[in-house]
Chain A
Amino acid sequence: MALLEIEDLHVSFKTVDGVVHAVEGVSLSLDARKTLGVVGESGSGKSVTAQTILGLTRFPNATISGRILFDGHDLLTMSTEHLRDVRGARIAMIFQDPLSSLHPFFKVGHQIVEAIRAHEDVPRDLARKRTIEALSSVGIPSPEERFNSFPHEMSGGMRQRVMIAMALAMRPDILIADEPTTALDVTVQAQVLELIQALRDDFGTAVILITHDLGVVAQMADDVAVMYAGRVLEQTTRETLFTEPEHPYTWGLLQSIPRLDAPRTGRLNPIAGSPPSLINVPRGCTFHPRCPYAPPPAFETEPALTPSQPGHLVRCHLPIEERKRLWQSLQNEHPALR
């Protein structure tokens, strides 16, 4: 059985401009020790999905439906007090901007000690010892001294390590990482990704990795869900996503990025237009206004997320053979996609 099971999740927010349909029928499952990559651009619903897992979207203007099963309990109906026991201890989360997740007035070591003591009845000196161990295991030099540092005294990469150390100290079952390296330089990103991999390998922590970067997904994930306008458009293994992607949006993303691993090309082949408003989501397939291949039904009815082969789900009206043929010809045209 899956460790975490998201079933038909819907999240919408009432705003002055109208109802924002942030997540529309997302189902995902995460197995123990696995990394699930969730890829999408701004407004795809990837972060709202992640935040909803930990009850961080329980605002008065939010309407949430569906089920999120963890350890036999539905996290959506769980009381806030109960959820607090899960948060941090069983499911930890790290964010893009670690500065806003750390309290500016307290020493970082103190913040980790408090987090441990909030969930476990351990004496202060033991919690302190575990904190220093955690800080040292994420590669923070002289952890005893750094224990007494304030967040502003650290660099961005260092703060993200503190967040990972905090997660590590709790030995969670699941780590949700929401764009953990987006604000970091590429050499520091490599360090942080390596650390998340080590956390998974050493403690068997399952990871939900939310990112806009297909390269990060290719390096880290076992399975990948591609999200757009609050929906999953394609979901499969990492291998299949990069060798036999079937959704035109996935093709568009792959063609939009300049490549280091292929000869230079003259022009990129971007997706036309821009992402839709989540208040007025397009009728039919949400991607059809930007899709160069959209068949007539895509203008009227939304396609279902259906398997094209076992373990490969695609939300597209194009017939499977047509999709395979199109991908073939794209690969012939653009050697980088091979």
Chain B
Amino acid sequence: MAVAAERTPGAAVDENLLVVRDLVKYFPIRKGLLQREVARVHAVDGISFDVKRGETFGLVGESGCGKSTTARLITRLLMPTSGSVVYDGQDISTWPERKIRPLRRDVQMIFQDPYASLNPRRSIGTIIGEPLRLLGIGDRNERRTRVREVMERVGLNPEHFNRYPHEFSGGQRQRIGIARAVVLRPKLIVADEPVSALDVSIQAQVLNLLQELRDEMGLTLVFIAHDLSVVRHMCDRIAVMYLGKIVELASGDRLYDHPRHPYTGALLSAVPAPKASAGRGRQRVVLQGDVPSPVAPPPACRFHTRCWKAQPICSEVEPPLESKGPRDLAACHFPLTDGEVDALTERSAE
């Protein structure tokens, strides 16, 4: 079988479900009559990471850092410019569309805006059952039964099978999106900002649901969000992205206790804690300026234009993503010291 032939050597029983290497996605900017390429958006610019079977892997960063593009590359909604995406031992990065389709059974996606990702003209029963129909799984009645089971599981009333998306609240619409993603019993779900459009009380319900489904179905989850507290709550390991690069990659707890990259430190210190002593008695790094344009990212370390620790070398030599502590990776010439970390985080204030 063609699929077997493409397995990477030695990856027969790999603990990694997903292996991403040197992944790059440029979007060309075209102008003029001949639509000549005048510039490129460097959306994702050479990132590598592994996702282990059964783990929840987090991607965090601000707008424009490339986290959503990464989500679309690993689910192959987009074709990478270069680099590889190895899913379950098979490099899917250059597969044509007809080959990708069966993969949808294993790899599903949940989107941020539950309204924009649901067809308003279809009943939610049809929407949730669509993946089953497209892959020709079961007959009409079996599909119906399966959809009702899934609806019940995600906390939707199965009697609402024939209702339309506009009849549901934001939180319920996100449950519809989740039901559609799990109806095929996939192995990997990529969730792109699944709760950022929801109110806090509903957000907590949806996060709990995702955790329950993950544990019950043994899912591997790639969880993408801009909210650091949500990512930390959900994820085993977290990669921090800035302007198309991974600047730090560590286990959730270590990332928050011992951030090594100044950008991670700045992100953590920017989140106000919901308590009376918030922000009092700790040093706050307020970064200056905006994130530079990904059309012309700064040379070498991309964070050097906003970094308070930057030295001349930072604009000349790009720091590799390398170990800065037990198993933690950071791409920085001058990683944060323990003293600097204490000053930045709320814990030291207590």
Contact = CB atoms under 8 A, between A and B. Distances in A.
Contact of A256 (B201, B228, B252, B278): B201
A90 B253 CA distance: 48
A217 B256 CA distance: 23
Contacts of B230: 258
Contacts of A238: 276
A260 B201 contact: no
B201 A271 contact: yes
Interface string B204-226: 11011001000000000000001
A120 interface: no
Contacts of A186: 62, 226-228, 267, 270-271
Nearest to B346: A261
B347 interface: yes
Interface in A157-187: 157-158, 185-187
B233 interface: yes
A179 to B, nearest CB: 12
B201 A267 contact: no
A245 to B, nearest CB: 11
Given A41-B201, A264-B233, A216 B276 contact: no
Interface stretch (B3-11, B69-77, B279-287): B279-287
A255 B267 CA distance: 23
Given A185-B226, A191-B286, A267-B208, A254 B274 contact: yes
Interface residues of B, number: 49
B171 interface: yes
A296 to B, nearest CB: 24
Contact of B204 (A191, A219, A260, A269): A269
Interface string B151-181: 0000000000000000001111000000000
Contacts of B284: 190
Contacts of A239: 276
Among A186, A189, A238, A271, max chain B CB count under 10 A is at A186
Contact of A258 (B63, B207, B290): B207
- Chain A interface size, as a band, is 35 or more
B266 A41 contact: no
Given A218-B276, A268-B233, A189 B270 contact: yes
Contact of B229 (A185, A187, A257): A257
Contact of A260 (B232, B276, B291): B232
Nearest to B228: A260
Nearest to A239: B276
Interface in A29-85: 41-42
Nearest to B169: A274
A212 interface: yes
A255 B203 CA distance: 12
Interface of A: 41-42, 139, 141, 155, 157-158, 185-191, 193-194, 212-219, 238-239, 241-243, 252-261, 264-272, 274-275
11 contacts: A188-B62, A188-B290, A218-B274, A241-B276, A258-B230, A260-B256, A261-B275, A264-B253, A267-B208, A270-B202, A270-B205
